[in-house]
Amino acid sequence: MITAELEAAYRSTHYVVDAGAGPGEGALFDPIVLEIDVASPALLAPHRRREVDCSCFITACNPFSRALDAHSNQLRQGDLAAELWHRSLSHLSGEGRHPSNGWPAEPSFLVLGLALEAAKSLGRHHEQNAVVWSGPDAVPQLVMLD
């Protein structure tokens, strides 16, 4: 069950994208910090570079918000990375960082061009409570997965 406190933590987390640090690229731009329900003009740059109008910020770490050890999270994140590669989904590295609650930063990906229903499906497959999805308006939305 997702508590109001947990949802509030998701909403106040900073979702940081290593812009320009995709496969074969150096760090070309400053990181993009996504905040829920706050327009992100900077997010439009990777959307334009990849010619997409949406994206999904996702992790495979800490399934259903149960803290796992670093090794287990690394394996889970590796499985997600392999799936993204296998499906030829363009993605950038990132991490979710809560500014004050002490929860460790979670390695994540910004998956470019992933439609909302596909983002939900990917999140459910990797046992997540939520994903962050942005459409053409570049406003990150917290999408809870029931």
Please write the tens of the pLDDT for every residue from 82-124: 999 999 999 999 999 998 877 789 999 999 999 999 999 999 9
Give me the residue label for tokens 């993204």: 84
Report the b/e string of 24-47 with b at 16+ CB within 10 A.
eeeeeeebbebebeeebebbbbbb
What was the pLDDT predicted at 28?
54
What was the pLDDT predicted at 22?
47
Q: Give the mean model confidence (pLDDT) for residues 122-135.
A: 98
Q: Is the separation of the CB atoms in 90 and 48 below 8 Å?
A: no
Give me the residue label for tokens 């990917």: 122
Q: Which long-range contacts (C-beta less than 8 Å, at least 24 apart) are formed by 49-52? A: 50/90, 50/112, 50/113, 52/90, 52/112, 52/113
pTM as predicted: 0.92
| Length in residues, the chain | 146
> Which helix (H) or strand (E) segment is 81 a member of?
helix 70-86
What was the pLDDT predicted at 59?
98
pLDDT score of 24 more than 70: no
| 138 DSSP 8-state letter | -
Which is more confident, 34 or 2? 34
What was the pLDDT predicted at 29?
64
What was the pLDDT predicted at 104?
86
What was the pLDDT predicted at 1?
74
Q: Give the mean model confidence (pLDDT) for residues 123-128.
A: 98
pLDDT score of 42 more than 50: yes
Q: Cα 11–67–130 angle (5° rounding)?
A: 35
CA distance 17 to 44: 12
* Confidence tier at 37 by pLDDT (50, 70, 90): very high
